[in-house]
């Protein structure tokens, strides 16, 4: 029997967003207090019998979140209305553009596919799953897909 060991760290941050082309309250500018769970794995335990020191994950991923997303307005790069509004805010306003609507699904996938490979590059671990809680009750999960599947798998959960 083969087993797999993973480590997961939780992060909290606050952000603003709005959903483009959406018929509902989330089309307005608003914010969330997000909770994110990032799971990483390593083929073999390191010399300390760890997948990774939790402090390394905190430093690598937590620093990126603090710098780029915490208290930022996260917007779709095609959302010209929001970009016009943000341009009035001046250079001290924190904003972050992404491809796609800034849903929990897209933000989970962005962290797993774009951010984690870069910030974890020299750690020997690989992120395999990101669960993004937009609220306490609603989350999206993006996981590395099995080898036969070409891209990451996405699922949303609303409880
Ligand atoms: Zn929202």
Residue range 18-36, pLDDT digits in tens: 999 999 989 999 999 999 9
| Distance of CA 43 from the midpoint of ligand 1 (Å) | 37
Q: Which CATH number fits domain 6-21+30-158: 2.170.150.20, 3.40.190.10, 3.40.50.620, 3.30.479.10?
A: 3.30.479.10
The answer to whether residue 155 is catalytic is no
Please report, for the chain, the start and end positions of each structural domain, with discontinuous segments joined by +: 6-21+30-158
Q: Kindly name the residue from 7, 26, 68, 138 that is annotated as catalytic.
A: 26
Q: Place 3 in a pLDDT band, splitting at 50, 70 and 90.
A: confident
Q: Is 134 a catalytic residue?
A: yes
Active-site residue flag, 71? yes
pTM of model > 0.85: yes
Range 58-67, long-range pairs (CB < 8 A, 24+ positions): 58/9, 60/119, 60/120, 60/123, 61/9, 61/11, 61/111, 61/115, 61/116, 61/119, 61/120, 62/9, 62/11, 63/119, 64/115, 64/119, 65/11, 65/13, 65/36, 66/13
| Residue at token pair 């620093």 | 63
- Under the banding of pLDDT at 50, 70 and 90, the label for residue 148 is low
């Amino acid at each position: 029997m083969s087993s797999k060991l993973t480590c997961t760290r939780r992060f909290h941050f606050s952000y603003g967003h709005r959903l483009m082309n959406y018929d509902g309250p989330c089309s307005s500018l608003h914010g969330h207090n997000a909770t994110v769970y990032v799971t990483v794995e390593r083929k073999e335990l390191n010399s300390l019998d760890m997948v990774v020191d939790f402090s390394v994950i905190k430093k690598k991923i937590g620093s990126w979140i603090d710098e780029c997303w915490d208290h930022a307005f996260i917007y779709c790069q095609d959302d010209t209305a929001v970009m016009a509004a943000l341009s009035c805010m001046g250079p001290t306003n924190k904003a972050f553009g992404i491809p796609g609507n800034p849903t929990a699904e897209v933000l989970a996938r962005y962290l797993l596919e774009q951010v984690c490979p870069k910030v974890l590059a020299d750690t020997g671990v690989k992120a395999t799953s990101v669960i993004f809680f937009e609220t306490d009750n609603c989350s999206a999960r993006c996981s590395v897909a099995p080898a036969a599947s070409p891209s990451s798998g996405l699922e949303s959960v609303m409880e």
